[in-house]
Structure 1
Amino acid sequence: MVKISVVVPVYNAESIIERCVDSIISNNYDNLEVILVEDCSKDNSLEKCKELSKKYDCVRYVHNGVNMGVSYTRNRGIYEATGDYTMFVDSDDWIDKDYINSFIDVLNDNPMALTICGYVNHDEKYNGRTDNVIWSNTKKNVSAKLKPELKTIYDRTLLQQLWNKAFVTKIIQDNKLKFDESISIGEDLRFILEYIKVSEIQDVVFINKPLYHYMRDQDGSLMYKVGLESVEEPLKNLRSLYELIGYSKNKIKESIDSDSKKQVNLYAYLIMHNAGMKMKEKKRLIFSLDSQNGKILYKNNRNIYYKEKISKAIRR
């Protein structure tokens, strides 16, 4: 029976980690290990991890000596893993009860396929909406060749995440793959692209069910570090993506030039929506994104920000 390792990075998750772990256990998969990697939380997360490891035989925890960040924490988890496949669940999220078995059904038939499930994007707090993100509306799984679909998978926001995929543990460990601890945005995609490259995976299988529940719920989440990191970092990932697909040098350059403009606009939007940043600092960072058009970029995103605030107030 295939063994599954689920890595859960834990930081300041005292109030939510039990929901996360209970959702994993509710899958009722017999050959399972859940690895909680606690990163020196400021709350009682460590005690919660200890309690959960006593409550469930398949749950164990490790504890970082000092706070190291999510990439180091995941790196520790993937090299603690003993399963045939490694999966990831974030501590503030949860999974449906047939999440693991849905992956197993695919992997039993095609053990080397990149298997991707759909997810529920919970954005109620910020935009008052919940979206199901899946490959297609058919209820059946869909198989395809991976490389011709890579750009579409990325555009449909199904490639960038760790937690809607299963990774062959041996490929990770034999190739010494790690999350880049020097960046805090786009490190997941970078890891995934490196994994695809070294594994030479040919096939992709889409599980057309939203089995993972992603909570956009944390004011201090990594997306709010946008602006403190160079726009060049995500562009490096896109360049790697285009190289994997097999774009020519000219097409890569054209695509990156276009992506650069989109990335600047995205960064400006996310900076403006950073709940922990003062408007003066937002203005400075947005201006720094585009020396020629910083004023227009700031004005447009400030208008969007206030329109969204008004819309949100009306809905209440």
Structure 2
Amino acid sequence: MSNVKVSVIIPVYNCSKYIGNTLDSVINQTFRDFEIIVIDDGSTDNSLEIINEKLNGCGLQYKVIHQENAGVSVARNRGVDVSTGDYIVFIDGDDYVLHNHLSELYTGTNDFSLTQFVKQDGEKVSNPNYFDFEIISTEEFIKKELNMEILFNFFQLMYKSSIIKENNVRFTPGIVYGEDTEFALKALTYGDRIHISNEVTYYYIQHSDSAIRTTEFRRFDIVDIFENLANFYILHGKHELANLIFTSRIPRAIFGNMNYFFYSCYGFDDVMYIMKKRDLLTKLSKFKGDRKFALKVKLFLLYPRLYYKLWFRFKNSID
């Protein structure tokens, strides 16, 4: 097969309810110079049968790889390894994209490009988060993400393949929460700029049986991811970015996930036990930045049970 401009990588694990719709949305793109790479990660339902049925005769180059179940990171990495496109796009097997997803992303000149997404839960669709810039340097974009000034997900990006492969950027196996953010923020480090489109082209589907749904306190694993990312930045001489991780991104992640657990009716004592066990209170105390957020953190650290009671009474945002 000859090289194509874009490789679309789709990991699948027991997605028989959704993968047909996902593949239809990819096959029906107005942009046509792309290949589809589906990695079936040991599905035990009839996902593989649906995949083959949809792709057979679709008129596009495609690869279907079946492997023993090894997790979404291994599946995505396998897709990267076999891809031939100049650029790479990731789509999850239970999401879908609009017909202009690839045409909005592909410029052929930028290291990265980005479109907007919305979350869909049944009939409910979230509001998109538009950006007020069309071109941004990768370093400035990373800073905005670490300060949580933008809402961002790795699947919004189109990645220049040579950046990913030549720098051996890969998803970390065995991690169920945050491996995609780590991948994107590492990849962006090696590039120059991002082209931004405010077109909403990606629909992220939320449902109770999602293959990437996390349970219990694994959400706090994002702290480990960002600590590893900080070490990565230090090794690459990007000390300002590493400092932002410790003084902004990690404290915000801890506080946001803590409130998520409160919102989900986890017991106060259970949450506090885990936070103390993982030394998250110390890491939370390192926050520097937004005064309003700093006051919330200070109140919680001084009077955690009081904060919990006040939060639960007034149902503050979990962000």
Q: Which amino acid aligns with 1:173?
A: K
Task: Give the aligned partner of residue 303 of structure 1.
Answer: 312
Task: Give the aligned partner of residue 177 of structure 2.
Answer: 185
1:60 to 45, 58, 63: 63
Distance 1:48 1:255 in 2: 42
Structure 2 residue 197 is the aligned partner of structure 1 residue 207: yes
Q: Tell me the secondary structure at the aligned position of residue 132 of structure 1.
A: coil
Matched-pair contact (CA < 8 Å) for 1:272–1:301: no
Q: Which amino acid aligns with 1:130?
A: S
- The offset of 1:55, in angstroms, is 3.9
Q: Which amino acid aligns with 1:80?
A: V
Q: Relative to 1, partners in 2 of residues 1:257 and 1:102: Cα closer, same or farther, differing over 3 Å?
A: closer
Q: Relative to 1, partners in 2 of residues 1:32 and 1:259: Cα closer, same or farther, differing over 3 Å?
A: closer
Q: Which amino acid aligns with 1:40?
A: G
Structure 1 segments, 4+ long, off by >4 Å, are 156-159, 240-248, 251-255, 291-295, 297-302
Task: Give the aligned partner of residue 131 of structure 2.
Answer: 135
Write out per-residue CA displacement over residues 228-274 of structure 1, whole angstroms, 9 at most, x where no aligned residue: 353532432663697679454xx955762454443222222344566
Q: Which amino acid aligns with 1:256?
A: F
Matched residue count: 287
Task: Give the aligned partner of residue 152 of structure 1.
Answer: 144
- The offset of 1:89, in angstroms, is 0.7
Structure 2 residue 226 is the aligned partner of structure 1 residue 235: yes
Write out per-residue CA displacement over residues 16-46 of structure 1, whole angstroms, 9 at most, x where no aligned residue: 1111111111113332211111111232111
Task: Give the aligned partner of residue 285 of structure 2.
Answer: none
Q: Relative to 1, partners in 2 of residues 1:245 and 1:174: Cα closer, same or farther, differing over 3 Å?
A: closer
Q: Which amino acid aligns with 2:224?
A: E
Which residues of 2 match residues 250-261 of structure 1 at below 5 A?
A: 252-253=242-243, 256-261=246-251
Matched-pair contact (CA < 8 Å) for 1:87–1:162: no
Identity of aligned residues (%): 22
Q: Which amino acid aligns with 1:168?
A: K
Distance 1:193 1:231 in 2: 13
Q: Tell me the secondary structure at the aligned position of residue 30 of structure 1.
A: coil
- The offset of 1:295, in angstroms, is 6.4
Matched-pair contact (CA < 8 Å) for 1:95–1:211: yes
1:48 to 44, 50, 61: 50
Q: Relative to 1, partners in 2 of residues 1:240 and 1:62: Cα closer, same or farther, differing over 3 Å?
A: same
Distance 2:29 2:306 in 1: 46
Q: Relative to 1, partners in 2 of residues 1:300 and 1:92: Cα closer, same or farther, differing over 3 Å?
A: farther
How large is the RMSD of aligned CA atoms in angstroms? 3.4
- The offset of 1:298, in angstroms, is 9.5
Q: Which amino acid aligns with 1:117?
A: T
